[in-house]
Structure 1
Amino acid sequence: MGFDLDILDEEDSPYPEVRSSVSNVDDPEMPALTLRMWIIGLTLCMASSAMNVFFNFRFPAPTVVPLVLLLVSYPLGKMLAFSMPIRTYRLRIPVPVVKSRLHIRLTTLTYELSLNPGPWNIKEHVLVYIMANVSVGPPYALNALVVSEYYYGIHHGFWFNLVLVLGTQLTGFGLAGLCRRFLVWPASMVWPQNLVACTLLNTLHAEEDAEWGTRAVSRYRFYVVASVAAFFFYFLPDFLFQALSIFSWITWIAPKNVVVNQLFGVSSGLGMSVLTFDWTEIGYIGSPLMVPWWAEVHVFGGFVLFYWILTPILYYTNVWQLSYFPMSANYPYDRFGKVYNVSRILDSSNRFDAAKYEAYSPLYLPGTYAITYLLAFALSTCVIVHTLLYHGHSLLNGLKKIKVEKDDIHAKLMRNYPEVPDWWYMAFFAVFFSMAIVAAEVWHTEVPVWALLLAVALPIVYILPSGFIYAMTGQGITLNLVAQIIPGTLLPGNPLANMVFKAYSVQTLTEATNFVQDLKLGHYVKVPPRATFLVQSLATILAAFVQVGVKQWMFSNIHDICQSTQKSKLTCPHNQVFFTASVIWGLIGPNRQFGKTSIYHPQLYAIIIGALLPIPAWLWQRRHPNSWLKMVSTPVILNGVSFIPPATGINYSSWFLTGFIFQYLIRRRNFGWWSKFNYVTSAALDSGTVLSLIFIFFTLQFPKGGNISLNWWGNNVFKNTSDTNRTPFRKAPLTGLPW
């Protein structure tokens, strides 16, 4: 199970994916922490974090992704390298030196500061990109803050907001550093998403491997042509011919046939139409040119088994009353077949009213939503057991500080730089987790300290299982379900405690895996580890101040924010979803949803089944080491389908088909082309499409309130179908389903 392994000379990686995208040479004298790097990195960090927080409250809205900042920072770096004066300043800093208890003398340390140390280089560039990675995403804790203030009327002020965001963001940073020996230094921890970034960085900075005007095609030329083509092509599925994106062509033939629409539809169906021509849909679960072929087979096989076979069986036999609701939806329903109206079970203070709940309805899950919960329960134990069985020996060696694997060329080259001591990361973990306790106790949030300890214990338990899967497949594990059920059970009727618990658990694990990913990227590009540590920590802290400041300003100055009539469409869609989740898990509670009297109670047995799933394949491959079962990874099968909903079959089938073409056919039949252009193609499709998306939004969607559109068959054919109308197989009785 893993990437293809070739036995090569020790001076290159044993993995062809890494060899094709990562340089195996290094220049230790190349400057990294330069003044221009800080100017560009911190400026883009502040601007992008502010923009993404602002647009996070709007729908529809673009997102400034790190890839865009990687592209933007390249000409900025070139410009500063051309324009800044070539001058070096020598700074003399007096430092006291203790010779004995009675003898202290001053010595002078000389530090050289070069304004322009030469051409804009790849190490500066990757540090800017790492800053972007850790700062562009809106903090998960902001959802909890907005919901507590806007919906529950609980106001704790700016400093509580800042402390909570810093605590949730940087506790994971400390955890990430402690996992380096398991997730960064071993060569087998490939982190495929970093291969795309490395390829793009090397394409921009490496010498041309073929000159313009010659017949050979260089990576750079290929990237430019492919990204420009992707930019213009995206106008078709996004604006000119939107049916190419929602390509559920069978439903166009039978728009009112409910079963056809449920099986082949995209909006509320299973997406058996197979194709889409929209790269954002194809790459919704990750670039298929990035994920290794064995993982794609696992993911698509799991999808077919659970969603194209199991879901229709359960749906049409009306298990869990599924057939009274749409086949697929990303929100719950009531017993009348309508979207669950949370306001009907709350009193005037937005507190849970049990009498109103009894008079209204329990909460029902649509078909794919119910299966996703079932698989999430199984995954919660499966991934831990799998990690202990398959990685237990490596974990034990790592804890004993014994090398987990023999060093590859990249690990050997990194010996030229001093490593970051573990105690630095331990200090970060201790300081910022202490902030969590301060936030909970000083501002009287009703979140007990033991709950915070449990909230952080979850990512500690799951960081290595999640990291192993992320490093090999490019898809991480989320703790959303577990992080809602535990506080909902232990702290019932306390939505703020539920949200704070969830924020610490989910964000700590998410940030930890993201930080580890960037540590591996720095490892690949041979950036001094202490430089990576410095830019990660400073960028995250700075971004937290900016993000909280933007949120505070918006809610102080935009009086109708989060209302459906807000003229700038600042309707807070993500916060509304978060509020609904807080009601379901914090107020209604998991005891009502999965208790013994609930129709969903049998789903809890998936926790036991999940723990048993990895064992048969593990026992079999121990007795038969050459069996194909050694390639089976049950956590990848269960976790790969976690994007559903809102993802549907059209995302998975098109993703798998594209992966089959590039990662199987081309890789096997023309490995030379694949090794040179595969990751360049992925980077070009990503960058061209995202730039086109932003351009279309600001030129064609943002003006006139999004009313600039083309009204023709190609943009309307998919809108008037049972799929789009979310028609269920059975109609709920007017008096509601009995319960």
Structure 2
Amino acid sequence: MAEIGTSVDKAIMDVVLEDKKRNVTEEIVDLNDNIVEKSTQEKEVQDELGFQGDNNEEYVKGHPVIRNGLDVSKFLVSTRDDGDPSLTFRSIVLGTVFTALSSVITMLYTFKPVQVSVSAVFLQLLVFVFGEAWAFFTPNPDRLKTSWLRKTLKFLNFGQPFGIKEHVVASLIASSGNNGLSGVEVYAIERLFYDRGISATTAVLATFSISLCGFVLAGALRSLIVYPAEMVYWSTLPQVVLFQNLHFDRKANQERLKKFGWALGLAAAWEFFPAYIVPWVGGLSVFCLASMKAPTKTRTIFATVFGGASSNEGMGLLNFSLDWQYIQSTYLSLPFKQQVNTWIGYVIWYPAMLGLYYNNTWNAKSFPFMSTSLFSSNGSTFSTTSILNSQGIIDEAKLEATGLPYLTSSTVWGYFTQNLAIGALISHVLIFYSKDMILAWKQARTRKQPDPHYQGMLKYKEVPQWWYIVLFGLAFIAGIIVTAKGETTLPVWGYIIALLVGAFIAPFSCILYGLYGTGVGTNQLSKMVAGAVHPGRPLANLYFASWSHQVILLAVNLANWLKVGQYTKVPHRVMFGTQIYGTLLGAGLNYAVMSTIVSSQREILLDPEGNSIWSGSTLQSMNSQAITWAMAKRIYSLSGDYWIVPMGIVIGLVLPVIHWSLNKVWPRLRNWPINTPMIALYTGYNYYGNTSWVWSSIAVGVFSQFYLRRRLPQIYNKYNYLIGAAMDGGSQIVIFVLSFAVLGASGASHPFPTWWGNPSGNADHCS
């Protein structure tokens, strides 16, 4: 875990101490001005909590450099615990309301050229505004004489301060609303590509099982993936800092919220232009503009290399987007070393994609440059139903008559790099982190984990292991019923194997996510195993992958929020119960939105290329994987065209070994923040969809993490996460409104008139 030491260098904040009336703990107020003036009281707090500090602390201009998880616990996140209530009527209501918003927006983006999620920081700030309004505009019950009315209003939290723990719980519920997305995606694929629906019983039981089956792993592994100080979950750290800033520094709230409101309003006003009026600003390319009067052949090449504003248009080289809905604030918070690894991946991605296509690898020129659809040998779109019988199983006679499906070279490369990353993930964790994981496990078992936040949570009752087991038992039984009696085509024994595959991969994903703030997609591995054990059954493959992948996803999500709870001192049992509630509520809402969009936009979702507004690329990719892996012996075996795809796992297993060997030969390489799983993943991460945002995200990352954080830390600490969240929220609210009002999510579409800034072809004027 020594790699974390370089992840957040020179992060500067200020600390002032709260007096001893607040459990001898510290309060974050303004880390920029007062961090140097730590008093003896802070030392007493650390000693009392059993914190063994690092005597080699690094300071620059009197301020500490945040190098690793221990520094985060010591300097960045307060151990303060006011003992305020967490599970309240207000927290449940606010969480429920904003679960609806986050679920609907996330489902919308499933059918967009780029998949993004609702900004968790934006939800957090939105919850805060409404929570504060609830406290301010409701009467104080203490002024009432009637006892029963006073008790009732107190239960309804009238006039009661909106505390940090309430805030965390409401935000947790809202963010958990997308945990059940995986199962809903499968239902959408069935409707689009198989012309099949599912019964209400299957939908309810399968959603319940898929949505909750992974919780038991996070519970069993929390000593390993939550308690250690090094498991920071960096992408969530902005939320933790913001929670404490909003509630522990009340005087600064008014100024912060004003700037948040201005940023949100400006982002919302601007989003109307790239999303509806002037889509051209979503893909600014000098090369595309220069080729407008060039011959058709030249324009096609330019679109392949430089185009990227429309779905599956091209690689978007030096194509800059001003559409924040795709850029997002992710690159304002991810550690700089993580972003560097993604850039290395991009450097490999560009020549690899072009080389494969223009060398006609896998007969690439017979198909579009980028598309996740399946194709026939003549280049026409492959019909899934043409090779299936009425049960959704491949009919060998129909397959012989129709012929095997083919993939674009970009899709093959994307599948290969996903497997490459999975193999590298396993080796990398075992080689570089195994000793630290063993130590963390021993410390947690003896309750001697030195992290002060872990020590501060010991006074709260843990979630008994049998709670996790009972929850898993219910989800497991629901899955048994669905696979035995439902329309999944997945046998019971295959369902059990799916859970075992997910259980094997989940710890590796959690460790990487905790250390780097981002993870590696593992859906491809699930599809491979499913194809091996269920040949000829694409629907079984889809359900197998959903259960398997969901085990991993839920383990990561729950561990992530358990860490937030540890930092903010929300009781363990409250975190457990509210995440279950939010997950089930969100799954139901996701299903309703999916049904509406699939019915109203079916034609464009089935189109291999889509457009700048709607795209079925995500679902097409999932279906393509399911179909091709159901024919793995013909397509992915050594005698098949795409044998390199499964070999990616084997090659990936070797990459960290090479990295480790080079570190032994040249010890200085250990100072380089190389992470082979991340590099492998991003060498093919953008193999479909909109790509114009890539260079904009690089620019945002360099400005935020390299320049602003190092040169202007005061501005960075106060406004980096706040303004990013406001821009996410402003753009996403407008997309939500536009999608149903004019972009056709509810059926009728009202496109903006065509003009130069809104061309009938690609938005960036490429081809």
Q: TM-score range by the shorter chain?
A: 0.7 to 0.9
**2: distance between equivalents of 1:631 and 1:295?**
8
- Structure 1's 136 and 627: CA in aligned 2 closer, same or farther, altered over 3 A? closer
Q: Please say if residues 127 and 532 of structure 1, whose CA atoms lie closer than 8 Å, have aligned partners that are also in contact.
A: yes
**1: distance between equivalents of 2:395 and 2:515?**
47
- Structure 1's 723 and 172: CA in aligned 2 closer, same or farther, altered over 3 A? farther
Alignment of 1:437-586 (within 5 A): 437-443=480-486, 446-544=489-587, 550=592, 564=603, 573=616, 577=620, 580-581=623-624, 584-585=627-628
Match of 2:82 among 2, 16, 28: 28
Q: Report the equivalent of 1:248.
A: 285
Q: Does 1:77 align with 2:150?
A: no
Q: Report the equivalent of 1:421.
A: 464
Q: Secondary structure at the match of 2:332?
A: coil
Q: Report the equivalent of 1:324.
A: 366
Q: Report the equivalent of 1:294.
A: 337
Q: Secondary structure at the match of 1:714?
A: coil
Q: Does 1:679 align with 2:730?
A: no
Deviations along 1:549-578, one digit per CA (max 9) or x if unpaired, are: x489x69xx997785499xx9x99589637
- 2:436 partner letter: S
Q: Please say if residues 144 and 578 of structure 1, whose CA atoms lie closer than 8 Å, have aligned partners that are also in contact.
A: no
- Structure 1's 79 and 177: CA in aligned 2 closer, same or farther, altered over 3 A? same
How far does residue 356 in structure 1 lie from its aligned partner after superposition? 4.0
Deviations along 1:244-289, one digit per CA (max 9) or x if unpaired, are: 1022331232243122221111142221124211122323xx6111
- Structure 1's 320 and 378: CA in aligned 2 closer, same or farther, altered over 3 A? same
**2: distance between equivalents of 1:169 and 1:118?**
34
**1: distance between equivalents of 2:72 and 2:527?**
38
- 2:8 partner letter: D
Alignment of 1:399-418 (within 5 A): 399-400=441-442, 401=444, 407-418=450-461
Match of 1:270 among 295, 303, 315: 315
Structure 1: gaps of 5 or more residues: 92-111, 213-217, 725-739
- 2:579 partner letter: Q
How far does residue 131 in structure 1 lie from its aligned partner after superposition? 0.5
**1: distance between equivalents of 2:259 and 2:373?**
43
How far does residue 723 in structure 1 lie from its aligned partner after superposition? 5.2
How far does residue 298 in structure 1 lie from its aligned partner after superposition? 0.4
Q: Report the equivalent of 1:713.
A: 756
Q: Report the equivalent of 2:207.
A: 165
Farther-moved stretch of structure 1 (196-205 vs 27-36): 196-205
Q: Report the equivalent of 2:240.
A: 198
RMSD of the alignment, in Å? 4.0
Match of 1:238 among 255, 275, 285: 275
How far does residue 446 in structure 1 lie from its aligned partner after superposition? 5.0
**1: distance between equivalents of 2:109 and 2:708?**
39
**1: distance between equivalents of 2:228 and 2:440?**
11
**1: distance between equivalents of 2:147 and 2:433?**
50
- 1:30 partner letter: D
Alignment of 1:598-677 (within 5 A): 598-622=640-664, 625-628=667-670, 631-641=673-683, 643-647=685-689, 649-677=691-719
Q: Please say if residues 298 and 636 of structure 1, whose CA atoms lie closer than 8 Å, have aligned partners that are also in contact.
A: yes
Match of 1:132 among 149, 174, 177: 174
Deviations along 1:205-235, one digit per CA (max 9) or x if unpaired, are: 45355597xxxxx543433333332222223
Match of 2:325 among 262, 267, 280: 280
**2: distance between equivalents of 1:155 and 1:713?**
42
Deviations along 1:34-63, one digit per CA (max 9) or x if unpaired, are: 222223323444676578769978999998
Deviations along 1:579-598, one digit per CA (max 9) or x if unpaired, are: 843761465x2222212332
- Structure 1's 464 and 5: CA in aligned 2 closer, same or farther, altered over 3 A? farther
Q: Please say if residues 376 and 481 of structure 1, whose CA atoms lie closer than 8 Å, have aligned partners that are also in contact.
A: yes
Farther-moved stretch of structure 1 (46-55 vs 524-533): 46-55
Aligned residues: 689
Q: Please say if residues 475 and 640 of structure 1, whose CA atoms lie closer than 8 Å, have aligned partners that are also in contact.
A: no
Q: Report the equivalent of 1:387.
A: 429
Q: Secondary structure at the match of 2:231?
A: coil
Farther-moved stretch of structure 1 (260-269 vs 418-427): 418-427
How far does residue 113 in structure 1 lie from its aligned partner after superposition? 5.7
Q: Report the equivalent of 2:357.
A: 315
**TM-score, normalization by structure 1:** 0.82
**2: distance between equivalents of 1:181 and 1:409?**
15
**2: distance between equivalents of 1:383 and 1:178?**
21
**1: distance between equivalents of 2:615 and 2:494?**
28
- 2:325 partner letter: T
How far does residue 174 in structure 1 lie from its aligned partner after superposition? 1.6
- 1:241 partner letter: V
Q: Please say if residues 742 and 751 of structure 2, whose CA atoms lie closer than 8 Å, have aligned partners that are also in contact.
A: yes
Deviations along 1:694-732, one digit per CA (max 9) or x if unpaired, are: 3444555459933241422111186289956xxxxxxxx
**1: distance between equivalents of 2:741 and 2:75?**
35
- 1:15 partner letter: I
Q: Secondary structure at the match of 1:119?
A: coil
Structure 2: gaps of 5 or more residues: 12-34, 36-41, 47-52, 54-63, 149-153
**TM-score, normalization by structure 2:** 0.79
**2: distance between equivalents of 1:274 and 1:490?**
43
- 1:424 partner letter: W
Q: Report the equivalent of 2:261.
A: 224
- Structure 1's 720 and 356: CA in aligned 2 closer, same or farther, altered over 3 A? farther
Q: Secondary structure at the match of 1:33?
A: coil
How far does residue 344 in structure 1 lie from its aligned partner after superposition? 3.8
- 2:239 partner letter: A
Alignment of 1:71-220 (within 5 A): 71-81=125-135, 82-83=137-138, 86=141, 115-116=157-158, 118-136=160-178, 139-145=181-187, 147=189, 157-202=199-244, 204-208=246-250, 218-220=255-257
Q: Secondary structure at the match of 1:234?
A: helix
How far does residue 294 in structure 1 lie from its aligned partner after superposition? 0.8
Q: Please say if residues 600 and 747 of structure 2, whose CA atoms lie closer than 8 Å, have aligned partners that are also in contact.
A: no
**1: distance between equivalents of 2:526 and 2:548?**
6
**2: distance between equivalents of 1:706 and 1:523?**
46
Q: Please say if residues 62 and 697 of structure 1, whose CA atoms lie closer than 8 Å, have aligned partners that are also in contact.
A: no
Q: Report the equivalent of 1:15.
A: 66
- Structure 1's 393 and 169: CA in aligned 2 closer, same or farther, altered over 3 A? same
Q: Please say if residues 209 and 219 of structure 1, whose CA atoms lie closer than 8 Å, have aligned partners that are also in contact.
A: no
Deviations along 1:92-140, one digit per CA (max 9) or x if unpaired, are: xxxxxxxxxxxxxxxxxxxx96744721122111111100111245532
Q: Does 1:40 align with 2:81?
A: no
How far does residue 196 in structure 1 lie from its aligned partner after superposition? 3.0
- 1:450 partner letter: W
- Structure 1's 222 and 722: CA in aligned 2 closer, same or farther, altered over 3 A? closer
- Structure 1's 346 and 419: CA in aligned 2 closer, same or farther, altered over 3 A? closer
Q: Secondary structure at the match of 2:457?
A: helix
- 2:92 partner letter: W
- Structure 1's 505 and 512: CA in aligned 2 closer, same or farther, altered over 3 A? same
How far does residue 533 in structure 1 lie from its aligned partner after superposition? 1.2
